[in-house]
């Protein structure tokens, strides 16, 4: 039987369960349960409705069931499996429908799962559909730049090429996020034995390119780590490239940047310091979330370049790659954060030492 045909439109708030009876409503048995409700609150199908009400109401299930049968509807708040829930119930001819209101933890969990699925679907389809025409635009524009002699048209082609390149970078980051989050994709890249100190030295031109207007030079590299780590070389390259981009976006022109690497027990610790106005305290835990950005008129967290920050994927990629090797990454302010106040931000990255 399709129990969804019994749903009361006014009570159609997922997740929902249905309890039915033949002769006595006090013997109502749960015959349908939404998957999210089953996953988070346990399986209640084929159980008596009064048993579920007992758990929610701390043993007063019979009392609340009597009220529901008498009045025809009931709102009941309680806890189950550690979650705060608020049930809205309504009695039909031979069934009772129960729903959980949108202000409860279970619905927040459901919404997060649905949002994550929607975002991943969009990225998976959109990224591939965008990548193919972008490569064509870049290729044609590059050829046109080589052949064009007019200064006017060269400027136009340069603008097209730079804009397309920026969009291509965004699409590439989308694909990376899908790659590191989708467990069904096989690992295509083998781990390499890498020395982070040497890697920073080799990537100095990348940092120099992005930090040309900042107070940064080879003298600001304090590379004392000697341990090797194990991860795909491409992943470490992506991590340090995103670090360089993040530093440009979050360091005012002329402000100092320092990079440190050290061996600590069985790990390699990399610290990147930059002078800026700090990161708001409530943003420190959110900063690695996909598409999370912080921007305010004081530009104290992002946007020193072009008056705006990135799209909120670079730090997510960094964290995903580091999580894959059981490392850690976090940010901290040197001083208590205050809007507009000069501060020093430290980005910490912990990489496990390669086992010999």
Q: Say if 8-103 and 192-352 have the same CATH topology.
A: no
Q: According to the model, what pLDDT value does residue 355 have?
A: 66
Whether residue 128 has pLDDT greater than 70: no
Distance of CA 224 to the CA centre of its chain: 32
The Cα 224–Cα 262 span in angstroms is: 5
Higher pLDDT, residue 167 or 107: 167
What residue ranges do the domains of the chain occupy? 8-103, 109-181, 192-352
Each residue's pLDDT tens digit, 135-158: 778 888 888 888 877 888 888 888
- Residue 187 or 17, more confident: 17
- pLDDT tens digits, one per residue of 210-258: 998 999 999 999 999 999 999 989 889 989 998 998 898 889 999 999 9
Least confident of 18-27, 101-110, 223-232, 264-273: 101-110
Q: How far apart are CA 98 and CA 85, in angstroms?
A: 12
**If you average pLDDT over every residue of the chain, what do you get?**
79
- Domain 8-103: CATH class, spelled out: alpha beta
CA 233 to CA 147: how far, in whole Å?
36
pLDDT for residue 77 is more than 50: yes
316 vs 242: CA distance, rounded Å: 10
Q: Specify which residues 293 forms β-bridges with.
A: none
Tokens of 257: 């940047």
Q: Is the pTM of this model over 0.85?
A: no
192-352: CATH, from 3.30.565.10, 1.10.150.120, 3.40.50.2300, 3.30.390.30: 3.30.565.10
Cβ neighbours for 350, distance < 8 A, ≥ 6 positions apart: 264, 267, 268, 269, 270, 322, 327, 328, 329
Cis amide bond preceding 15, omega within 30: yes
What percentage of the chain reaches a pLDDT higher than 90? 31
How confident is the model over 177-195, as pLDDT tens digits?
Answer: 666 665 444 444 678 899 9
* Phi, psi of 86, rounded to the nearest 5 degrees: -130, 110
Share of the chain above pLDDT 70, in %: 74
Contact 264, 227 (CB under 8 A): no
Would you state the pLDDT for residue 225?
95
Partners of 260 in the β-ladder: 222, 271
Cα separation of 232 and 222, whole Å?
A: 24
In this predicted model, which residue has the larger pLDDT, 305 or 75?
75
Closest CA to 44 of 32, 61, 36: 32
What is the model's pLDDT at position 7? 45
**Per-residue DSSP letter, 264:** E
Q: Rounded to the nearest 10 degrees, how much is the dihedral formed by the CA atoms of 209, 210, 215, 218?
A: -50
């Amino acid at each position: 039987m399709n129990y969804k045909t019994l749903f009361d439109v006014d009570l159609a708030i997922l997740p929902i369960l249905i309890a039915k009876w033949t002769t006595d409503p006090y013997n109502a048995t749960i015959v349908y349960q939404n998957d999210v409700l089953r996953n988070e609150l346990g399986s209640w199908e084929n159980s008596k409705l009064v048993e579920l009400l007992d758990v929610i109401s701390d043993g007063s299930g019979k009392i609340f069931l009597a009220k529901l049968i008498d009045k025809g509807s009931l709102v009941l708040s309680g806890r189950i499996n550690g979650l705060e829930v608020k049930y809205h119930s309504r009695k039909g001819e031979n069934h009772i429908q129960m729903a959980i209101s949108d202000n409860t933890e279970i619905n927040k969990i459901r919404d997060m799962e649905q949002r994550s699925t929607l975002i991943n679907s969009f990225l998976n389809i959109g990224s591939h559909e965008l990548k193919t025409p972008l490569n064509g635009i870049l290729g044609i524009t590059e050829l046109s730049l080589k052949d064009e002699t007019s200064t006017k048209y060269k400027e136009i082609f340069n603008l097209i090429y730079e804009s397309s390149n920026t969009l291509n970078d965004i699409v590439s980051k989308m694909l990376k996020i899908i790659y590191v989050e989708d467990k069904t994709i096989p690992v295509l890249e083998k781990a390499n034995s890498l020395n982070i100190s040497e890697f920073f030295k080799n990537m100095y031109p990348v940092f120099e390119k992005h930090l040309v207007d900042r107070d940064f030079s080879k003298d600001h590299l304090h590379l004392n780590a000697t341990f090797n780590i194990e991860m795909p070389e491409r992943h470490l390259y992506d991590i340090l490239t995103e670090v360089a981009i993040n530093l440009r976006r979050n360091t005012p022109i002329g402000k100092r940047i320092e990079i440190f690497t050290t061996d600590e027990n069985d790990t390699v610790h990399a610290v990147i310091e930059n002078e800026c106005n700090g990161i708001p305290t409530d943003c420190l835990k959110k900063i690695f979330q996909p598409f999370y950005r912080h921007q305010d008129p004081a530009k104290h967290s992002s946007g020193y370049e072009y008056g705006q920050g990135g799209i909120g994927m670079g730090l997510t990629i960094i964290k995903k790659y580091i999580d894959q090797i059981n490392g850690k990454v976090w940010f901290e302010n040197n001083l208590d954060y205050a809007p507009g106040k000069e501060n020093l931000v430290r980005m910490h990255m912990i990489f496990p030492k390669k086992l010999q």
